[in-house]
Structure 1
Amino acid sequence: MRFLILLSLVFCTLSAQCKEYLQHIVNDQGLTVVTDEGQFQLSFINPSVVEVVWLAPSADKPSFSLPDNLQKSPALLTETDNELLYKTADFNVRIQKSPFQLQYFYQDNLLVEEQNGFSAQENNFLLSFKLTDDEKLLGAGERVLGMDRRGHRLPLYNRAHYGYTTESEQMNYSLPAVLSSQKYILVYDNAAKGWIDLGKTDKNTLQFEAVGGRQAYYVVAGSTYPDIVKNYVAVTGTQPMLPRWSLGYLASRFGYHTQAEAEKTVSLFSKLDFPLDAIIFDLYWFGKDVQGHMGNLQWDLTAFPKPVEMINNFKQQGINTVLITEPFILTTSKRWQEAVDNNVLATNKQNQPYTFDFYFGNTGLIDVFDKNAEHWFWQIYKDLMKQGVAGWWGDLGEPEVHPADIRHARGSGDEVHNAYGHQWAKMLYQNQINDFPNKRPFILMRSGFAGSQRYGMIPWTGDVSRSWGGLKPQVELSLQMSIMGLAYTHSDLGGFAGDNWDPELYLRWLQYGVFQPIYRPHAQENVAPEPVFHSKKVQDIARRFVHLRYQLMPYNYTLMHENSTTGMPLMRPLFFAEQNAEQYLDVKDTYLWGDAFLVSPITEPDIRYKNVPVPAGVWFDYWSERKIQGGETQSIPVDIESIPLLVKAGSFVPMVEVVNNAANYSSDQLTLHYYHDSSVKTASGYLYEDDGQNRLALQQGNYEKLNFSAQSDKRKLLLSVRPEFGSAQYQAQTKARQLTLTVHNITHLPTRVLLNGEEMKPKQMLFHPETRLLQLIFTQRNNQQIEITF
């Protein structure tokens, strides 16, 4: 042992990278280890999550990614001559004393170990870990590189990539975090400008670099990939539930120039039978031109002469108003002097407002890290909310141009760059829930940091090319963000950049959009993004899918509830489908929508069949009811009116009839689909309902759940519907629900159907032998049992 220690000391001397243990201290904050290169604090912030902080560089730098006052979990420490063991029930950290090094084990399996750990080199901080030969690394935020990002060295600096298609190393939302095939998430908790090297420079080294910022990281463990994601979200924060209307069609373009244009668009949706839940105003609401007006942040009364009346008229139709805002105050804007006088702008070394030129004009930048600036900025939002504005779109929040030496309350531009959008969303969210406590925030943002989901952030994938190349990476982008807690990442449906008009491409994008978190066609106005301005054929196909989106609202709203309580994303990678499904880690164009649906968008023209990887189990083609055996790749036929869409046997899918918007949503008439197969012996699911807008519905008990279960054998199928009510009633709560239970894959008429032990009447049952559907119609009451005998 003495020889090995001496050998390691010689190696450390040569490499100048090793640290030596001196002593350790245990207190309420965790375990502090003193070395010859500083102190390192270890603490379990969850039994499956451990954080490591290099104290000296981080003493005055609180975390952005973790909530304030996060409670620590108790852990046990044991010591030997050359090792400390710090552990919870399943997760332990082995701390080698000489040379000082950390290894992470979960259920006795090595997950990851430091290479050199923390170090400083010139003006940069470094953090490195060892990689195994066959380890795959997902994550690092929005990039178009394939699911496995190993082998790349990537910038950690949020920056827009206008018109991207099938490859991009740098986009609006970078994350210093990876999910490994070794079953861990590793987060470098530092929002400064930097790099992540995923085995590019050294194939077996994962390295983070940063120009400053907090020197800390945490490792998240779990038994399965979904468990790891849930554990990560448990510490970084769950996404609050959005208003129900956010699941509907959101009309958007760059942009609506006048009140008359906006009102005409809304009336066309109604006239042509397209549901509509919101209209989103781009920058023309505060200025007639693209350049020169940013920072006005008040209605241009020439173009919008009666904005409050317009907002109220839309609201009476069930349509919400969302406004774009940016953090730039141009020197030519109406608020420039006000911003200067109130000291709300980030500054230069002389403590004067830092001004610079970018596309929109000469500008200053609001210092969202400053409390005084936050108050000033929020008052503008608050006044507009009093006018009836229902949601916010925060644009250019990378920030799009951000000088390295600009000074913020929390550091230089480079030190806080990646946290700017995060802090902006935090400002909006926290002030809104303080001043409008019952109203759920709606906050579109294209840039942020790890943990931004806890402030209700809804990211999108930036200014994508309006082309097939732009459509191809959208599933990959959303999945990479979803596994890091950002479950509402979505694309501008139809594509944003350019004037290309391809009806097939447009329809394929809108079809995919039914199964992404936010349904928002948005584009430059050269070609209208709204289907109401296109041909009858395009309208008819698009309408069918928009209607399907609204029929699925109870299912989708339940996914929203599940995400807000567990962290499970709405869009889920295929490797979530099975316990050990590493063979699906690289699948970037097929995914799960909740547990029930498998979706594989069409991303090429003139496709009649698509080869789709289908996980193990029995599945059904949603359109044809064809039974499909999983466990292998299947060739799925499609036409222009369909995409590959499968439903897993054992799934419960609640649906309703189409309404014109969520304001008229009701589950009084509910169709509950159950996809039966004898291979599924037991199954369960649920439906979550509340008023769709009260932020505190769950805490106040203003909700209802319908719990579903199934048991089957060769001769009998038992189904149950069990309501579960919160402690209080809520407005629009269903008093008497008419339930149509639609059981799929019933090959012949049952010999008997019992409802709570009594024979169902013939008029309550419909059997469709050609589609193998059995429909049972009854009034839903407490704890109902349905027994079907074959």
Structure 2
Amino acid sequence: MLRSTKPFLLLASLSAFFSSLIHAEIVGYVLKGNTLHVNTDTSDFTVSVTATNSFVVTLKTDDSGKAYANLPSMALVHSTIGEDINPTVEDTPTTISLNWQNATVNIDKASHRMTYLMNGKQVVKEQKGLSVQGERISASFSLDDSEKIYGGGQRVLGMDRRGQQMPLYNKAHYGYTTSSSQMYFGLSAVMSSKHYAVLFDNTASGTLDIGASNTNELLFQADGGRASYVIVLGESVADTVQKTVSLTGKQPLPPRWLLGNFASRFGYKSQQEVIDVVGAFNQQDIPVDAVVLDLYWFGKDVKGHMGNLQWDNAAFPEPEQMIAQLKQQDVKTVLITEPFILTSSAQWESAVLNDALVKKADGAPYTFDFYFGNTGLVDVFSEAGQDWFWQFYEKLAAQGVAGWWGDLGEPEVHPDDSIHLWDSKPVRAKALHNGYGHQWAKLVYSNLRKLQPETRPFVLMRSGFIGSQRYGMVPWTGDVSRSWGGLAPQVELALQMSIFGLAYTHSDLGGFAGGDAFDPELYTRWLQFGAFTPVFRPHAQDSIAPEPIFHPDPVKSIVREFIKLRYAMLPYNYGLAFENALSGSPLMRPLSYVYSDDKWFNHADSYMWGDALLVSPVTQPKQSQWNALLPEGVWFDFFSGERFVGDQEVTYPLLDDNFPVWVKAGSFIPMSEGLSRTEDYDPSRLTMHYWFDNSVASSGYTLYEDNGKSPYSVDKNTFATIEFKALRRGNSSVMVSINSDGSYIGMPQQREFLWVVHGFEDAPKTLRVNGRNTNFNWNEKKQTLTFTVPYTYQQAVDITIN
């Protein structure tokens, strides 16, 4: 029921008064479900609370009292806004409080500014709040002197973005290196070292100012669009990340082949070249799972053909036969598409006739010149544009294409005054710019799920918005310079994206743009790093081959071993994908995600690959050693087995064929040796590595497993888990237990685990499996213990090593 508040005095200064959210008296409020509707004599706004300790604030009318036409939210999963929870309201003479579990928002009746509390303690508060002045929408918050800030998505500015101002306008940055304030995939979102996140749910062109203009103010501004923001309150960085991703949508579990090696370049120019390249990978014993075709599949030249959206039959005379031939080898075909339809393309007249393009104010197709020619742009927001664009994907899918690459989706050129038709209403491009790639991914993903309901879509995209991960988007970091300067920021770029849910962000391995000559050391170090990133896809302009098959030894031999290592780690890496789909946890994790010490918050020299591995990429040439900070605890060199004590800087001796990777003591890592394709994976025969150390009293690991293809594994719980737990029993002894649960069609009932135990200084005296003595091998040089344990599904096993 609507309840009026008592009159109160306005004590704020005039300047604060005119910058506040609403300049009027609250005349009443009502709580409906999980949403508090607040009315004033001129303006209305809502505050919704979600089960993730998040608050969604949306302005319904502007400060003149006129209705404000909000666009729908792109950032949020719509079901989270209407969750069936029961928050409570408290009314005091000065505040209205909305409470849910341990989270609270206090609305000051005088200024209408909001303060957010977790466990009764203030976490963040509005400074000027949410406001609309003309077409400018702003959201302003106070920053404490000491807090550090992640945010803005793809930028090369350092992990702590405090003191930076950046455009909120997705834009290509060709050949970037060690500095960039504007790139392909910006995010209007920040995350604080105080364990909260702010999401500005607005896709329009704007700016993000993190204490640059005013040291203690966080300010989002946009020219039009949606007047709404979201506050997420967490207990830690990891908790804040997972709550944010729960709110914006978890990434669907990708197909297992995404974790394989991609053959990719700009670009393969003929059907025969594609067949020959895959044949060379086979002949040279280098695993490969997919081949990516750039723009030459639809035209012989770079310019003049974009928008054809059909095979160039002169270069690709029998594409279906080619795709089928690759499929017989368990190699997937991935095609590039772009949203630009050139006036010179084969589809121009069809696009115009079917009303598929963005328009001018007079309703005519909007055409403009850019690098590839004179063009129009597909309106991915309109039903007509979606229907017309989708027909080409549908035809290509029928031919066997397995993966989809959307390029130039910022869009690279997007006139501010062009008009989209969204929900049958005209909307200027300026208000939708940052959501274009997001909407495009939604179009492709949603239609593929309907067309191929038993398949997990693969959608590679260069640009998007908050929440794009829920449409299976796999982003990359754009046209990076093929240089050491291009390699250096890749950890920062991936981590800044992964904490907001874009967990498959990766780089063109080896670098894309420029390069006068092949640099074998740069190429090797970049691909070594790539073995511990979400997607392994060397890609470049073809003046220097990106594929290892075209390079001499020792480069080829070193890279081959790292690609084989990536394939061997498939069960571990696939487990990271499962964890991401279940909880939103990134694959690449900032050290602040795991360790609470503030010193890790702005650290981008190293990262965690899952829970077990710490990776410190080599980003400088001609190094004989590499210095790295190790967190607390004990760590083992992944390659040599050398033991390191953490909480200090250590020196790693570099060779051409090794790479700075450490394993956290107590970790389990499952492996599957000898794979040339991800399809070869056999869960019945696994090697389980365990790193023992007396400093670790207990540890555990969950192995996730399904058929690698079903899109229902997570939603319908059609997957299996095997739990491994280790418990130290005195010095130099450990008990490991194995238990399993869940199932899926085709799951093996009988398994064999080859155990490799690291960390013992001497050979153990006894090894017992379920109380029975068991044979083992001890390698004195490597100090590894190996033995085999058969395992039957849902049978408990105890292994005791003394």
Do they fold alike, i.e. is TM over 0.5? yes
1:301 corresponds in structure 2 to 313
TM-score of the superposition, structure 2-length normalised?
0.95
Q: For residues 590-632 of structure 1, what are the alpha-carbon distances to aligned partners after superposition, in whole Å with 9 as ceiling and x for unaligned?
A: 0000000000000001112211111111111111111111112
**1:577–1:615 CA contact under 8 A, matched in 2:** no
Q: Superposed, which structure 2 residues align to 1:601-620 within 5 Å?
A: 601-620=617-636
Q: For residues 684-706 of structure 1, what are the alpha-carbon distances to aligned partners after superposition, in whole Å with 9 as ceiling and x for unaligned?
A: 11111111111113344542221
Distance 1:589 1:19 in 2: 47
Q: Pick from 768, 778, 783: which aligns with 2:789?
A: 778
Query: Aligned-residue CA RMSD in angstroms?
Result: 1.6
1:519 corresponds in structure 2 to 536
**2:34–2:50 CA contact under 8 A, matched in 1:** no
Residue 47 of structure 1 deviates from its aligned partner by 4.1
Answer with 203-212 or 68-77: which moved more.
68-77
1:44 corresponds in structure 2 to 49
Q: Superposed, which structure 2 residues align to 1:442-457 within 5 Å?
A: 442-457=458-473
Q: Pick from 666, 669, 672: which aligns with 1:650?
A: 666
Q: How many percent of aligned residue pairs carry the same amino acid?
A: 45
Answer with 691-700 or 593-602: which moved more.
691-700
Q: Superposed, which structure 2 residues align to 1:253-264 within 5 Å?
A: 253-264=265-276
> Are 1:8 and 2:12 matched, yes or no?
yes
Q: Superposed, which structure 2 residues align to 1:97-112 within 5 Å?
A: 97-112=109-124
Distance 1:416 1:435 in 2: 27
Q: Superposed, which structure 2 residues align to 1:160-199 within 5 Å?
A: 160-199=172-211
Q: Superposed, which structure 2 residues align to 1:532-547 within 5 Å?
A: 532-547=549-564
Q: For residues 23-44 of structure 1, what are the alpha-carbon distances to aligned partners after superposition, in whole Å with 9 as ceiling and x for unaligned?
A: 2121125101223551110011
1:206 corresponds in structure 2 to 218
Q: Superposed, which structure 2 residues align to 1:709-728 within 5 Å?
A: 709-715=725-731, 716-726=733-743, 728=744
| Letter in structure 1 aligned against 2:384 | N
| Letter in structure 2 aligned against 1:290 | V
Q: For residues 396-420 of structure 1, what are the alpha-carbon distances to aligned partners after superposition, in whole Å with 9 as ceiling and x for unaligned?
A: 0000000001100131111000000
Residue 187 of structure 1 deviates from its aligned partner by 0.4
Residue 785 of structure 1 deviates from its aligned partner by 2.7
Q: Pick from 680, 705, 709: which aligns with 1:693?
A: 709
1:681 corresponds in structure 2 to 697
Distance 2:714 2:490 in 1: 32
**2:128–2:140 CA contact under 8 A, matched in 1:** yes
| Letter in structure 2 aligned against 1:48 | N
2:230 corresponds in structure 1 to 218
Q: For residues 484-507 of structure 1, what are the alpha-carbon distances to aligned partners after superposition, in whole Å with 9 as ceiling and x for unaligned?
A: 100000000000001332100000
* Distance change >3 Å, CA 333–CA 276, structure 1 → 2: same
> Are 1:19 and 2:27 matched, yes or no?
no
> Are 1:478 and 2:494 matched, yes or no?
yes
1:54 corresponds in structure 2 to 59
| Letter in structure 2 aligned against 1:62 | P
Residue 273 of structure 1 deviates from its aligned partner by 0.5
* Distance change >3 Å, CA 148–CA 374, structure 1 → 2: same
Residue 663 of structure 1 deviates from its aligned partner by 1.7
SS at match of 2:669: strand
**1:177–1:185 CA contact under 8 A, matched in 2:** yes
* Distance change >3 Å, CA 555–CA 16, structure 1 → 2: closer
Distance 1:519 1:345 in 2: 35
**2:494–2:506 CA contact under 8 A, matched in 1:** yes
| Letter in structure 2 aligned against 1:33 | V
Q: For residues 380-436 of structure 1, what are the alpha-carbon distances to aligned partners after superposition, in whole Å with 9 as ceiling and x for unaligned?
A: 101111100000000000000000011001311110000000000000111111111
Residue 367 of structure 1 deviates from its aligned partner by 0.6
**2:98–2:106 CA contact under 8 A, matched in 1:** yes
Residue 119 of structure 1 deviates from its aligned partner by 2.0
Q: For residues 280-333 of structure 1, what are the alpha-carbon distances to aligned partners after superposition, in whole Å with 9 as ceiling and x for unaligned?
A: 000000000111111111110000011000000000001000000001111111
1:436 corresponds in structure 2 to 452
SS at match of 2:690: strand
Q: Pick from 225, 228, 240: which aligns with 1:228?
A: 240
| Letter in structure 2 aligned against 1:41 | T
* Distance change >3 Å, CA 645–CA 210, structure 1 → 2: same
TM-score of the superposition, structure 1-length normalised?
0.97
**1:193–1:414 CA contact under 8 A, matched in 2:** yes
| Letter in structure 1 aligned against 2:35 | G
Distance 2:682 2:771 in 1: 29
Q: Superposed, which structure 2 residues align to 1:373-384 within 5 Å?
A: 373-384=385-396
Answer with 164-173 or 496-505: which moved more.
496-505
Q: Pick from 491, 502, 511: which aligns with 2:519?
A: 502
- List runs of 5+ in structure 2 lacking aligned partners: 1-5, 63-67
* Distance change >3 Å, CA 738–CA 14, structure 1 → 2: closer
2:583 corresponds in structure 1 to 566
SS at match of 1:393: strand
Distance 1:74 1:530 in 2: 56
Distance 1:296 1:31 in 2: 51
Q: Superposed, which structure 2 residues align to 1:394-409 within 5 Å?
A: 394-409=406-421
1:356 corresponds in structure 2 to 368
Q: For residues 185-226 of structure 1, what are the alpha-carbon distances to aligned partners after superposition, in whole Å with 9 as ceiling and x for unaligned?
A: 100000100000111111111111100001000111111111
| Letter in structure 2 aligned against 1:550 | Y
* Distance change >3 Å, CA 528–CA 37, structure 1 → 2: farther
Distance 2:488 2:42 in 1: 48
Q: Pick from 324, 327, 337: which aligns with 1:325?
A: 337
Q: Pick from 325, 341, 365: which aligns with 2:353?
A: 341
SS at match of 1:672: strand
Q: Superposed, which structure 2 residues align to 1:53-92 within 5 Å?
A: 53-56=58-61, 59-70=69-80, 71-72=82-83, 73-92=85-104
**1:151–1:199 CA contact under 8 A, matched in 2:** yes
| Letter in structure 2 aligned against 1:587 | H
| Letter in structure 1 aligned against 2:323 | I
Distance 2:237 2:484 in 1: 31
Distance 1:532 1:93 in 2: 58
Q: Pick from 756, 767, 771: which aligns with 1:757?
A: 771
- What count of residue pairs does the alignment treat as equivalent? 782
Distance 2:213 2:527 in 1: 41
Distance 1:615 1:224 in 2: 17
1:705 corresponds in structure 2 to 721
SS at match of 2:166: strand
Distance 1:18 1:448 in 2: 32
| Letter in structure 2 aligned against 1:778 | V
1:240 corresponds in structure 2 to 252
SS at match of 2:714: helix
| Letter in structure 1 aligned against 2:559 | A
| Letter in structure 2 aligned against 1:358 | F
2:65 corresponds in structure 1 to none
* Distance change >3 Å, CA 4–CA 202, structure 1 → 2: farther
Distance 2:490 2:801 in 1: 45
| Letter in structure 1 aligned against 2:778 | F
> Are 1:630 and 2:635 matched, yes or no?
no
SS at match of 1:409: strand
Distance 1:43 1:221 in 2: 14
SS at match of 1:8: coil
- List runs of 5+ in structure 1 lacking aligned partners: none
Q: For residues 162-187 of structure 1, what are the alpha-carbon distances to aligned partners after superposition, in whole Å with 9 as ceiling and x for unaligned?
A: 00000000000011100111110100
Distance 1:103 1:333 in 2: 55
> Are 1:148 and 2:160 matched, yes or no?
yes
* Distance change >3 Å, CA 275–CA 429, structure 1 → 2: same
Residue 787 of structure 1 deviates from its aligned partner by 3.5
| Letter in structure 2 aligned against 1:79 | D
1:590 corresponds in structure 2 to 606
| Letter in structure 2 aligned against 1:757 | G
Answer with 660-669 or 152-161: which moved more.
660-669
* Distance change >3 Å, CA 114–CA 657, structure 1 → 2: same
**1:649–1:676 CA contact under 8 A, matched in 2:** yes
SS at match of 1:195: strand
